[in-house]
Amino acid sequence: MAKLSIPHHDRLIFALDVPDLARARELISTLGDSVQFYKLGLEFFLSGHYFELVHELKASGKKVFADLKLFDIPPTVGRAVAQLAQHEVDFVTVHGQDAMLQQAVAHAGDMGVLAVTALTSLDRGDLDDLGFDCDIEALVLSRARRALALGCRGVISSGLEVSALRDSVGEALTVVCPGIRPVDNVDDQKRTMTASQALAAGADYIVVGRPIRDAHDPRQAAERIQEEILEYFN
């Protein structure tokens, strides 16, 4: 069970995966106080307005998760993280080996470095194609233990691996779970859970994108997930 002292409303991270600033601002306005934490990924990064929106969100009291999955030679990752830390981002993802994570942690300041374990779009067949001779859970646990040893704030993990992850590293890492779906999954996320299932397994934060963004009423969709979170903790 998630034990970090996190305000309930902060546990929902909305994935603001949109192509332009106008659409981003529209969604933020629509969602209002139903969302306090936003994930900004690669799609919006390429809009050219990434840091403009980061500053707007921070100025309005929101939290920001820069889901950039940094992967490059370690010194470049370190310098990139140092640049990002100047913008008061709360979390950043790094998707790489030990030396990359070390450099990220060394330059992060107060920003939390989250190590990517295994993307929620991967299944056993995908790992075979990539040449990983282990199952997904073993890969997640191995990367989580290394992330802990290297000083990362936490990890990105499918909810399906969180219970085993908690057994392995306890409460020492913050666990952020993408691939959260309020109904049966019908898209390209292969390893998914509902919000309450992920929290019960030990997730600290849940990431929800399309079920909110593409809903007929995005605010109502976000509020329903917030209600599910509140009901779980009550």
> Is position 1 within any domain?
no
Out of 25-34, 58-67, 153-162, 218-227, pick the least confident.
Answer: 153-162
Q: Reduce the DSSP state of residue 12 to 3 states and report it.
A: strand
> Is position 2 within any domain?
no
Around Cβ 120, how many Cβ atoms within 10 Å?
24
Contacts of 3 (CB under 8 A, 6+ apart): 171
pLDDT value for 53: 98
> Is position 42 within any domain?
yes
pLDDT at 7 exceeding the cut of 60: yes
Q: What is the mean pLDDT of the chain?
A: 89
pLDDT value for 54: 98
What is the tens place of the pLDDT at every residue in 94-133?
A: 987 899 999 999 999 999 999 998 655 445 554 555 455 5
Whole-number Å distance between alpha carbons of 76 and 99: 11
Residue 92 bridge partners (DSSP): 66, 113
What six digits make up the tokens of 125? 């067949």
CATH code assigned at 70: 3.20.20.70
> Is position 3 within any domain?
no
pLDDT value for 1: 44
Q: Reduce the DSSP state of residue 166 to 3 states and report it.
A: helix
> Is position 207 within any domain?
yes
What is the tens place of the pLDDT at every residue in 123-151?
A: 555 455 545 555 677 878 888 999 999 99
pLDDT value for 4: 61
Range of the domain at 44: 8-233
Q: Looking at the annotation, which residues are catalytic?
A: 69
What is the total count of domains within the chain? 1
pLDDT value for 180: 85
pLDDT at 182 exceeding the cut of 80: no
Q: Are strands 37-40 and 112-116 parallel, antiparallel or unpaired?
A: unpaired
Ranges assigned E (strand) in 4-45: 12-15, 37-40
> Is position 16 within any domain?
yes
> Is position 19 within any domain?
yes
pTM: 0.89
